[in-house]
Structure 1
């Protein structure tokens, strides 16, 4: 019996016990108080931690003996936090808040977790472009990164900005010029993760300029941006002067030299050094974010064992030894001949990670709070696919390398008919490092939690684990928990029946059929092929089949479309770049100016969503900031902000006098207490026409 089977049996026993205990508790304690929602998490009286480090407990699926407390949320004015680190000897933390993709308003924030709610943050630095990395250096000073620089500063100074000292600058950032002269206003991977070894050497991620380096066929030459002394898709090494500390750069100073330590690494956002590195044989590990392919289970992400001078495959190889077909000619001769299968330059992955998991953080745990984790490797997966949104725990050997097991080795897939899958490539099942999951159940559940989006992690001096979520705008602290954890929450995704109903609505409306075709041809096929599983499109489909396939794919994605309410869906915010997340498609910021009709295409997408459901679009009347709505039997279903638009299907509800019935609203407004079969009702006087 493997570890996943044991875990499932254990979860079943815990679930049964929790249900019985919950029923008995309910008999004596009465109904629980109404939870408060912060950043999409429902929080009640239960806490995680102790003393003034006891924070509202959030309902995410933790390993037994652990809990998660919500330290900060969007109510604390977090925008897009990406990393966190504790100041040595102080119970204070610094958080790098990027602000969002396409922003230049990043901030460094000082977090005092002992302060009262609402008073925990202090701005240290503002107006930073793409802050990401935060590291305590060998000199015990705080180091941080922007898209192009590494700098240090004193967060406890009266004027922190006056203490900023840049040590590395002019690295490839957002705006880059490729070897052929092409200028990119927004490179795909501009963020700078970095680590110091114990000798003070600095290793920096320089991500690839785009996803796959594919150019018009035939491709006969190597990927030029990944070549040479300043190669992208690489880890750069900077060596300090004697004494091990980089000097502050002054205007006119020469930039410190670097060497390309390792190549063929698309985006090294997760880096971890064993404490004994660079002693011979000790681990330098990297979590690779692989290229995007249409298959939801291909390619796998990777854990790479980094060695100087080696090539790790991008863009020529993936999934251990699978050649990228676009580079067939390049792999037939020259330096990259047979790179993926028979070339000493190439070092294949040490182990595979779940496909599309998006590893954005990696560290060795050292602390007294969780002895069972001591020395183990923690990896945070940020990906929005069902293989992401979790934190993994690996057993490692004495040199810090995860312990491998022969095939099959399995990983979890959230909310899927097949809940686990084995690691495999085109050649079949492969060996990999098995892992446990510190956080497993982090899929979205209406009324309880959003989908998890972990980015930066750190271990505090007291051994607690801290992490930040960018999309959810949170800081979370993981502590010891007594007793059995709460029962796991069921998956809550748009049902196939509802997708069928929405697809039928579109098919029955001539204008919406035209809008869908326009969107599929002008956006999906023109700009989105190669991402998001090609929206499910296959060769040989008719135009009508393509329309239905693309629509069903969009409707099945978490949070993309809320019929009748385009403003609430990620389809609009990502296409228009109006939120913190990265604009889609890549390079889309210039399309309204350079591609005739693109702005109209965005309006077409909005109209398709707005007109998807038959009915009358009406606005929630101004007044109280929230308006409650109910199910047919009177159960409270949630609250909708004033001025939001809903699609009213019955202005005067036939089965609930005084109320109007409307179509299912956006998920953030549902509390999880009602079902679509109940219907959703709001008092008639709370609705006004859309002007």
Structure 2
């Protein structure tokens, strides 16, 4: 136990130090620079191999389930987990917790994917091309797992940013991320010096959030509405009930130095651009691929593919939305959850948890991420410093720095008792994090 605690604390210190040294955040549209609070800034505890804020504990409910992506929990405590790829022919696992462990009740669905969500008596789940739903009974159990209804079909999948994250609102609408099948809309994707495609035709069918009816069958693109555009790829998304608004976490672009070595050095490429939290309204444009958000200069920068040099203002006409908050680059935010429970201390109420899957492209700087952070909110907007909430998924500071994480957090869900659940898509681990005074 002492050795595990030592490793977990050292991992947190190393990661937090790297982030504090290399990056800052811009909270709110004013773009104010703000640093993170690490888990070691308050008394931390080690639990289930994780380093947590004081008073919290974690339990490993299940392991080796497969590539567990997003997760949702019913009011009765059934845990529905989406697998990236089917395991034994099943892409959705249903578990129930008993005495600190979660037993598999059943599995169904022969499709892989990311999104899963319970709403209004249905379980919604997405593949990389389609969205399905299953009717639930009064105990929120699937009535017939062999006959899902197809809600949306034929969404584009070109095997880059193909995950179709989903969320539903209270007005009967379904929102689907359709990620751009490109890094930066170059004429030749990820080729050194290749310039951007004029008008970026990718945006016609990808690079944004599409809105569909939650109860209409067999919808295609023509039935949906491009709710927001200019978003390279969104995996973490949630509906903020405090201000009745969609929030999303964008994966920022890659390879500034590799593609334009005359304009960016390796350190800049490792740290830029920010991973951004956006508050979305219908018709919003976040600016991809024409701009990116620089969290060090606290402004939108014109992308080099479209004539930028790392300094030019990317939005003199102010037609692109500002991020609600900005985080260090390349940490891959895969989960977003607004906390509405009563179990955690009051400061967490209506704030956002973000699961950072971890970087692969910060070399020659150390890799970073592989943790869950908390972003305080007030009146529906980010307010104050974000902090590392749960760390240690990677296994060690050395694993983090090398990008060899044992586990990588992906999905987040809130349970009926106010605990939160975290998936890991490397080893198929399900964590439950709880608070006790």
Same fold (TM over 0.5): yes
Identify the match of residue 54 of structure 2 among 64, 85, 96: 64
Residues 214 and 106 of structure 1: CA distance in aligned 2, closer, same or farther (over 3 Å): farther
Residues 451 and 254 of structure 1: CA distance in aligned 2, closer, same or farther (over 3 Å): closer
Matches within 5 A, 1:441-480: 441-445=392-396, 451-480=406-435
Residues 200 and 221 of structure 1: CA distance in aligned 2, closer, same or farther (over 3 Å): same
Identify the match of residue 114 of structure 2 among 124, 132, 157: 132
Q: Which has the higher helix share?
A: 1
Equivalence for 2:22: none
Identify the match of residue 98 of structure 2 among 111, 114, 127: 114
- Over the aligned positions, Cα root-mean-square deviation in angstroms equals 3.1
Residues 309 and 257 of structure 1: CA distance in aligned 2, closer, same or farther (over 3 Å): same
Identify the match of residue 214 of structure 1 among 176, 183, 186: 186
Equivalence for 2:146: 161
3-state SS in 2 of match to 1:326: helix
Partner Cα separation in structure 1 for residue 339 and residue 124 of structure 2:
21
Q: Which has the higher strand share?
A: 2
Asked if residue 263 in structure 1 is aligned to residue 233 in structure 2, the reply is: no
Which structure 2 residue ranges, 5 or more long, are not aligned? Answer: 1-33, 189-193, 258-268, 294-298, 361-366
Partner Cα separation in structure 1 for residue 134 and residue 236 of structure 2:
23
3-state SS in 2 of match to 1:370: coil
Contact 2:250 2:275 in 1 (8 A): yes
Provide the TM-score with structure 2 as the length reference: 0.75
Partner Cα separation in structure 1 for residue 61 and residue 237 of structure 2:
25
Contact 1:207 1:233 in 2 (8 A): yes
Contact 2:240 2:246 in 1 (8 A): yes
Equivalence for 2:320: 346
Equivalence for 1:80: 67
Matches within 5 A, 1:212-251: 212-216=184-188, 217-219=194-196, 221-227=198-204, 231-238=205-212, 240=213, 246-249=215-218
Equivalence for 1:374: 349
Residues 451 and 402 of structure 1: CA distance in aligned 2, closer, same or farther (over 3 Å): farther
Equivalence for 2:260: none
Provide, for residues 492-548 of structure 1, a one-character-per-residue CA deviation record: whole Å limited to 9, x for no partner: xxxxxxxxxxxxxxxxxxxxxxxxxxxxxxxxxxxxxxxxxxxxxxxxxxxxxxxxx
Provide the TM-score with structure 1 as the length reference: 0.49
Asked if residue 440 in structure 1 is aligned to residue 391 in structure 2, the reply is: yes
Q: How many residues align?
A: 364
Partner Cα separation in structure 2 for residue 5 and residue 376 of structure 1:
15
Asked if residue 394 in structure 1 is aligned to residue 402 in structure 2, the reply is: no
- Which protein has the larger Cα radius of gyration, Structure 1 or Structure 2? 1
Contact 1:98 1:106 in 2 (8 A): no
Partner Cα separation in structure 2 for residue 285 and residue 188 of structure 1:
22
Identify the match of residue 98 of structure 1 among 75, 84, 88: 84
Contact 1:355 1:387 in 2 (8 A): no
Provide, for residues 159-201 of structure 1, a one-character-per-residue CA deviation record: whole Å limited to 9, x for no partner: 4113x1111111112xxxxxxxxxxxx4301111111111112
Contact 2:74 2:416 in 1 (8 A): no
